[in-house]
Amino acid sequence: MSTAIPVQEDTGALDRVRALESECLLQNYARYPLVLDRGKGCYVFDPAGKRYLDFITGIGVNALGHAHPRLVKVIREQATRLLHTSNLYFHAYQGALAERLAQASGLHRTFFCNSGAESMEGALKMVRAHGHKIDPQKYEIVALHNSFHGRTLGALSITGQEKYRQDFEPLLPGARFVPPNDEVALEQVVSDRTAGIVVEWIQGEGGIFPMSTEYLRKARELADRYNALLVFDEIQCGVGRVGKYFAYQLVDPVILPDVMVAAKPLACGIPMGVVVANDRAAQSIGSGMHGSTFGGGPLACRVALEFMDILDELLPHIEEMGCYFRGKLGELQKQFSFIREVRGQGLMIGVELSFSGKQLVLDALDLGLLMNCTHDTVLRFLPPYIATEKEIDRAIGILKRVFKLAAKRGDAGPAAHQGDVH
């Protein structure tokens, strides 16, 4: 018999779920006060039936919103056929998906796993093995301040934020951190000892900060000069999020990495991560050197294949809706002086405030809009790719009310409070 707490249309569900979790779960998450029960399109619903416009999509995962009919169909069908095979055997979908990813990315070899951090671990092993083959002293990995690459020990080792690392030191030796968008600093640190350079094209958790094209070209040039692998972390900014398959395709000519990691939206909520590499990088991992029991299972691969088909047609829409949303946020910026900046590409958008945005996230939730706050002052929006002007207008309406509340409370301090609402 199931012992899950029945939450259907239950207004007391939050208290009971929270009480049980506080007794039985590791206390590592600070959750918002909301129990989610179901979703449809761009909306999710709590057990009492209250509707929330989902503009955070499980931190960039539910790219097609919720209960997308084509994904539901594929999941249903595959569940009746075959859920798991392990990697002891072949199934029909890994190769097909790898081929699709190669067409979309320009990189020809894929390793499948289950999360962003796991894909970053795979990339780090690739980088280390690449360096090791050339010289055992070639093990340094250059990464950026303010980056985020995941919570495993390897991924943390190259995450450039002290708050995530401090409790777990010492981490992997050889990580060298440099400030983002500083070509001189990069040139000073990359050397013959460098096995890899790891960059998020747009730092997501770090507050939606894009890298400049010149910086990324310099990273490419240095990786080539010192025979190091250039790794792009596309876990948050990739797979359609910015209106291209991958963020590195935003510039012309494309700056191709040697290795690219992606995860979040790839199977739209069925866990999946990938390491996608060119032949030079891929050849550093030989038989038996890496693996994953669950990685690339038939269910996740089929869903991802269906998603890639849908994504082909959605890319221009993502770009268009991103422009529309940023334009509307820009109008709000003119009305509220505490909005410092609106940043982002496609449907990966940050709104930098002059004060902590935590209360605003709660206010928005109360009014039926899900977003989150990163780096304390940046409201982060990762809407579903299927969002239209209608949903964006609704989000903007709620945000306007949220900003008015903040202005009235004087969240930005007394001086800013005076002229906040025009």
Ligand X SMILES: Cc1ncc(COP(=O)(O)O)c(C=O)c1O
| Chain residues in the site for ligand X (CB under 6 A) | 59, 115-117, 120, 148-150, 200, 204-205, 233, 235-236, 263
d(CA 88, CA 71): 27
Q: Minimum Å distance from CB 148 to ligand X? A: 5
Q: Which is nearer to ligand X, 209 or 336 (CB)?
A: 209
Say if strands 369-370 and 51-54 run parallel, antiparallel, or are unpaired.
Answer: parallel
Q: Which is nearer to ligand X, 255 or 339 (CB)?
A: 255
Q: Which is nearer to ligand X, 100 or 241 (CB)?
A: 241
Q: Which is nearer to ligand X, 149 or 328 (CB)?
A: 149
Q: Which is nearer to ligand X, 120 or 370 (CB)?
A: 120
Q: Which is nearer to ligand X, 128 or 241 (CB)?
A: 241
Q: What burial class does residue 82 get, using C-beta atoms within 10 Å of its C-beta: 0-12 exposed, 13-18 middle, 19+ buried?
A: middle
Q: Minimum Å distance from CB 217 to ligand X? A: 21
Q: Minimum Å distance from CB 338 to ligand X? A: 26
Task: Give exposure, 303-326, as e/b (b: 16+ Cβ within 10 Å).
Answer: bbbbbbebbeebbebbbebbebbb
Q: For residue 15, what are the contacts with CB-CB under 8 A and spacing of at least 6?
A: none
Q: Minimum Å distance from CB 214 to ligand X? A: 21
Q: Minimum Å distance from CB 155 to ligand X? A: 6
Q: With left for phi above 0 and alpha for psi between -120 and 50, is residue 86 left, alpha or beta?
A: left
Q: Which is nearer to ligand X, 78 or 374 (CB)?
A: 374
Q: Minimum Å distance from CB 157 to ligand X? A: 13
Beta bridge partners of 96: none
Instruction: Output the residue with the shortest Cβ distance to ligand X.
Output: 116
Contact between 261 and 274 (Cβ < 8 Å) = yes
| Pair of tokens at residue 376 | 């304390």
Q: Which is nearer to ligand X, 128 or 328 (CB)?
A: 128
| Pair of tokens at residue 2 | 């199931």
Q: Minimum Å distance from CB 342 to ligand X? A: 20
Q: Minimum Å distance from CB 370 to ligand X? A: 16
For residue 294, which phi and psi values (nearest 5 degrees)?
-85, -15
CB atoms within 10 A of CB 103: 12
Contact between 392 and 383 (Cβ < 8 Å) = yes
Q: What burial class does residue 29 get, using C-beta atoms within 10 Å of its C-beta: 0-12 exposed, 13-18 middle, 19+ buried?
A: exposed
